[in-house]
Each structure stands twice: as C-alpha cells, then as structure tokens.
Amino acid sequence: MHAFVFLGTIGCAGSSVQAEAIKTDVATYNREHTVDKLVDRGRGFAAVGDYLRAEEYLADAMNQGANPKKIMPLLLEVCIKEGRYRLAAQYAKDYLVAHPNDVPVRLVLASLYSATAENKLAKAEFERVLDARPNDAQAHYALAVLLRDAEQDVVGADQHFREYLRLDPKGRHVEEARSSVLHRVTEAP
C-alpha cells in the first residue's frame, strides 16, 4: 500500500513539473509569436530567399491580426517568387473579400489568373481594375495581351493596346503595343 501512495505522489509531482514546463512553453510561444516578430521573421526569411518559410510566417502574422494592407503585398511577393501562383491568387482572392477596393491587389490577382491560364477570371479582374482606374496603362497592356494571346480577340486587344500607347507613350511595352495595333487597310483605286 505504501508503494502505491509513493507512486501516486511521484505521478502528482511529475504532472506538476509537466504543468510548469507547459506554462513556460506557452509563455515562450506567446512571447516569440507576436505579430511583429512573425512579420520580422517573414521578412528575414524572404531576404535570404527562403520564400516558403517567409510565406508561413507572414500568413501566421495575418492570422494573428497583422495589418493585412501592409502584409498582403509581402505575402504575395514571396508566393510569386516561389512560383506558387495559385496560392498567391487564393490569398489575394480571400483578401479582396474584405478589401474589394484594393486595386493594386486586384491587378496582381488578375495577373496571377493570367499566369495560371484562368483567362476568364483574369479578364474579369482586369476589367474590374479598369472600371476603378480607367487610366491604368499597365492594366490596359495586360488585358490587351490576354485578349490577343489567350482569346484571339485582336480587335479587343487593339483597343487596349491603343489606350496603353496613349497613356504611356514611352512605356516599357511600347514596341510590342505598336506592333500589335491593327492598321486600316485602304483599297487601291
């Protein structure tokens, strides 16, 4: 009977030690997993090219209440650098439910849909960007390329290439836009 009491006492003492260890671990976890520390770690891993781990920390920071307007561009950037376009698109799509007027994120989402050959979704998102910002030269250019290459809609593409050239006549894509613009054919007399 004394042996049983002794073993019971060890068990109680053991659980008390375990409880203290768990409390210490929880306190360490809480101290180390603040939003600021998660964001810092995410940025640190991104800086050294470990985009997968950066994504995990940044996503955790968002789940812990980090400012999504500050974190979303970083989160999208690391996913894109890692080539995880569908995951980046999902993050952007989820974010836009709560922030539907964030046009830069919507433009990234449209580009991600285009990169993953989800052409109808890409077109709809580019059009939403242009509804919000009709003078966005890059959105006109991206939509023109999508229309030309994915949908073989050269007339629709022409309209957006022309608008791109009007808005950004010295832009990076001027040569391609100029070569893609339709020219009127006149009949010889």
99: CB partners within 8 A, 6+ apart: 68, 69, 105
pTM of the model: 0.78
Can you read off the two tokens belonging to residue 184? 């009127």
Q: Supply the pLDDT for residue 18.
A: 75
Of 116, 166, 175, 182, residue with least CA distance to 146: 116
Q: Supply the pLDDT for residue 31.
A: 59
Can you read off the two tokens belonging to residue 64? 């812990």
Q: Are 58 and 36 in contact (CB under 8 A)?
A: no
Of 65, 26, 60, residue with least CA distance to 42: 60
Can you read off the two tokens belonging to residue 104? 């830069």
Q: Supply the pLDDT for residue 89.
A: 98
Q: Supply the pLDDT for residue 16.
A: 73
Q: Supply the pLDDT for residue 27.
A: 53
Q: Supply the pLDDT for residue 8.
A: 44
Q: Which residues of the chain have pLDDT under 70?
A: 1-15, 19-33, 184-189
Length of the chain in residues, anyone? 189
pLDDT tens-digit readout, 142-173: 999 999 999 999 999 999 999 999 999 999 99
Can you read off the two tokens belonging to residue 113? 């849909």
